């Protein structure tokens, strides 16, 4: 119990004192996870909508791959990205290994299937007759699709929340492709692992509490956005 109290006090001290190292790690965490989430939304939401609204050969196979990707182990993603970005890999000449860019790529690969899968579920859960009814009333296909998206707003924002929650808490892939380099690729999750390894449990708990505060604040904001009737 004393460790938790010490960790909470330490977290307050780090935040109030404006510790430059902690704030740098916080900034990089938000930059990497935020960018990865935006990229995942850009690719994942259209993919989920396409799977839900269109019929084509191989749809079930592609849908099953998306669902499989939702539970893809982060360390596997980290390994694949590493193999591509190592000097001997196909993209090794880009020099992206152990950079924030590599971490963004890995996290986006983790979040994209999650966002696509939740988006697919959000549209599929809507009465399938609604789209047919809209089309029969003279709506253009894109208009009908847009109205379905508006109906599925709660589920689509839930997809974003799920994707963001997964990447901001991710450790394995970030360690593998980022290297946890101080001032360059160290984020809050990898900092926690490092401090635990050093035996600094109070500092590790303090950083973990800061991570929880950041994650909770952003998810609360997205939840408020989710229930804002003015959106869409």
Domain ranges of the chain: 2-226
Q: Which one, of 171, 177, 173, 175, lies nearest residue 189 by Cα?
A: 171
* CA 228 vs CA 54, 63, 64: distances in Å: 29, 30, 32
- pLDDT attached to residue 124: 85
Report the alpha-carbon distance of residue 175 to residue 193 in Å, rounded.
10
Query: Tokens in use for 21?
Result: 């190292």
C-beta contacts of 58-61 below 8 A and 24+ residues apart: none
| pLDDT tops 90 at residue 18 | no
For residue 97, how many C-alpha atoms fall within 13 Å in the half-sphere facing its CB?
A: 17
Phi, psi of 177 (to 5 degrees): -95, -15
Residue 141 reports pLDDT greater than 60 = yes
Angle (deg, nearest 10), helices 20-53 and 59-70: 160
- Please provide the CATH number assigned to the domain covering 2-226: 1.10.3720.10
Model confidence pLDDT, tens digit, residues 67-84? 999 988 999 999 999 999
Contacts of 145 (CB under 8 A, 6+ apart): 49, 53, 131
Count of helix runs (H) and strand runs (E) in the chain: 11, 0
Model's pTM, two decimal places? 0.88
Query: Does the pLDDT value for residue 163 go beyond 90?
Result: yes
CA distance 49 to 63: 11
* H-run or E-run covering 69: helix 59-70
Q: Mean pLDDT: which of 78-82, 147-151, 152-156 is highest?
A: 78-82
Please state, in angstroms and rounded to a whole number, the distance separating the CA atoms of residues 167 and 61: 26
């Amino acid at each position: 119990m004393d460790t938790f109290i010490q960790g909470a006090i330490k977290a307050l001290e780090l935040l109030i004192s404006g510790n430059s190292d902690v704030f740098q790690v916080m900034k990089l965490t938000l930059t990497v996870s935020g960018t990865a989430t935006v990229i995942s939304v850009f690719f994942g939401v259209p993919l989920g909508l396409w799977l839900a609204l269109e019929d084509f050969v191989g749809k079930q196979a592609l849908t099953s791959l998306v669902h499989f990707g939702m539970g893809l182990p982060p360390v596997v993603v980290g390994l694949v990205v590493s193999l591509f970005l190592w000097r001997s890999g196909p993209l090794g000449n880009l020099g992206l290994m152990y950079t924030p860019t590599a971490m963004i790529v890995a996290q986006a690969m983790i979040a994209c299937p999650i966002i696509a899968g939740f988006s697919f579920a959000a549209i599929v859960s809507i009465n399938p007759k609604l789209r047919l009814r809209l089309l029969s009333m003279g709506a253009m296909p894109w208009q009908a699709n847009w109205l379905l998206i508006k109906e599925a707003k709660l589920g689509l924002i839930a997809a974003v929340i799920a994707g963001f929650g997964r990447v901001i808490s991710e450790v394995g892939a970030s360690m593998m492709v980022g290297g946890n380099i101080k001032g360059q690729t160290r984020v809050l999750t990898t900092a926690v692992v490092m401090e635990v390894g050093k035996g600094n449990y109070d500092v590790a708990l303090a950083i973990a509490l800061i991570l929880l505060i950041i994650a909770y604040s952003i998810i609360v904001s997205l939840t408020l956005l989710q229930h804002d009737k003015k959106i869409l």
